[in-house]
């Protein structure tokens, strides 16, 4: 009888040890969140995929526990390697005003949000997310020089994924190098094609713009910008 109990106890102990080792292996082999995964988590879980009336920034390198994030009246360091995001909840207002520091633990995905009144001192090192409205504003100010006179501006309803090609009926083909907004400028809207027009890609992170001179409109759905 005692031998049977001993045998059963040995089996249970082996099962527990195996389970513990498996859990430990899972922790060691867990794949850390990359920047894009952390970004999607913040967009979905914190911002509800709504960027109206705010500015959304991210820092493109991991923040370690040795890295202190400094603001005029605050310093913070994460407990583990984390991705750092900054949300300006009142863009255009003078500081101090409501904003958020958001840390996403790269190991387990835990999100820590700190309500703040000041941006980090190194905000210039962060990358701004360009919404469609910001992309349109950039094209109007930087490429069209704040003038829509005798020109029409169009944009795509959604983001153009990296690698997608924008084509026209006569062989023109242009690839989005990164996820971007696509805008089309018709420089002579009253003229028959072919005539001068421009294809513009505005990267969603950082807002870098690439402009291509063209003679034909693109083959994709577009929405005309109305002032």
- Polymer length in residues for the chain: 227
Model confidence band, residue 158 (pLDDT cutoffs 50, 70, 90): very high
How remote is the C-alpha of 114 from its chain's centroid? 20
Angle at 218 between CA 191 and CA 147, to 5 degrees: 55
Q: What is the pLDDT of residues 42-101, one digit of tens each?
A: 999 999 999 999 999 999 999 998 888 888 777 888 889 999 999 999 999 999 999 999
pLDDT computed for residue 26 by the predictor = 46
Contact 153, 185 (CB under 8 A): yes
Closest CA to 222 of 194, 196, 186, 190: 186
pLDDT computed for residue 92 by the predictor = 92
Angle at 105 between CA 47 and CA 26, to 5 degrees: 125
Other residues' Cβ atoms within 10 Å of the Cβ of residue 225: 16
Q: Find the range with the poorest average confidence among 3-7, 53-57, 138-142, 221-225.
A: 3-7
Q: Find the range with the poorest average confidence among 15-24, 99-108, 180-189, 199-208.
A: 15-24
Q: Are strands 74-76 and 69-71 parallel, antiparallel or unpaired?
A: antiparallel
* pLDDT value at 112 more than 70: yes
Per the model's pLDDT, the better-predicted residue between 71 and 21 turns out to be 71
* pLDDT value at 113 more than 50: yes
H-helix segments, 30-87: 35-41
**C-alpha span between 183 and 154 (Å, rounded):** 6
pLDDT computed for residue 17 by the predictor = 45
Domain boundaries, the chain: 35-128, 132-224
* pLDDT value at 23 more than 70: no
Kindly state the average pLDDT of the residues 157-165: 96
Which pair of tokens denotes residue 135?
Answer: 């992309």
pLDDT computed for residue 25 by the predictor = 45
What is the reported pTM? Answer: 0.81
* pLDDT value at 19 more than 90: no
pLDDT computed for residue 56 by the predictor = 98
Q: What are residue 102's phi and psi, to 5 degrees? A: -125, 125
Tell me the C-alpha to C-alpha distance, in Å, between residue 3 and each of 67, 138, 149.
58, 80, 95
* pLDDT value at 192 more than 50: yes
pLDDT computed for residue 58 by the predictor = 97
pLDDT computed for residue 150 by the predictor = 92
Other residues' Cβ atoms within 10 Å of the Cβ of residue 135: 24
**C-alpha span between 200 and 135 (Å, rounded):** 10
pLDDT computed for residue 29 by the predictor = 54
Share of the chain above pLDDT 70, in %: 87
Other residues' Cβ atoms within 10 Å of the Cβ of residue 203: 19
Across the chain, what does the average pLDDT equal? Answer: 88
């Amino acid at each position: 009888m005692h031998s049977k109990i001993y045998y059963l106890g040995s089996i249970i102990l082996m099962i527990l040890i195996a389970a513990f080792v498996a859990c430990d292996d899972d922790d060691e082999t867990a794949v850390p969140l990359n920047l894009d995964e952390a970004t999607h988590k913040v967009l979905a879980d914190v911002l509800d995929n709504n960027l109206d009336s705010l500015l959304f920034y991210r820092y493109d390198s991991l923040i370690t526990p040795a890295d202190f994030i400094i603001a005029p009246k605050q310093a913070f360091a994460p407990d583990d390697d984390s991705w750092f995001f900054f949300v300006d909840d009142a863009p255009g207002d003078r500081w101090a005003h409501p904003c958020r520091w958001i840390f996403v633990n790269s190991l387990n995905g835990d999100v820590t949000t700190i309500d703040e009144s000041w941006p980090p001192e190194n905000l210039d090192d962060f990358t701004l997310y360009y919404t469609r409205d910001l992309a349109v504003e950039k094209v109007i100010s930087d490429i069209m020089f704040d003038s829509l006179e005798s020109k029409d501006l169009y944009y795509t309803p959604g983001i153009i994924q990296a690698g997608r090609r924008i084509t026209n009926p006569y062989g023109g083909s242009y690839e989005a190098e990164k996820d971007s907004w696509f805008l089309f400028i018709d420089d002579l809207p009253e003229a028959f094609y072919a005539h001068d027009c421009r294809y513009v890609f505005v990267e969603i992170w950082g807002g870098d713009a690439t402009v291509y001179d063209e003679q034909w409109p693109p083959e994709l759905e577009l929405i005309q910008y109305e002032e």
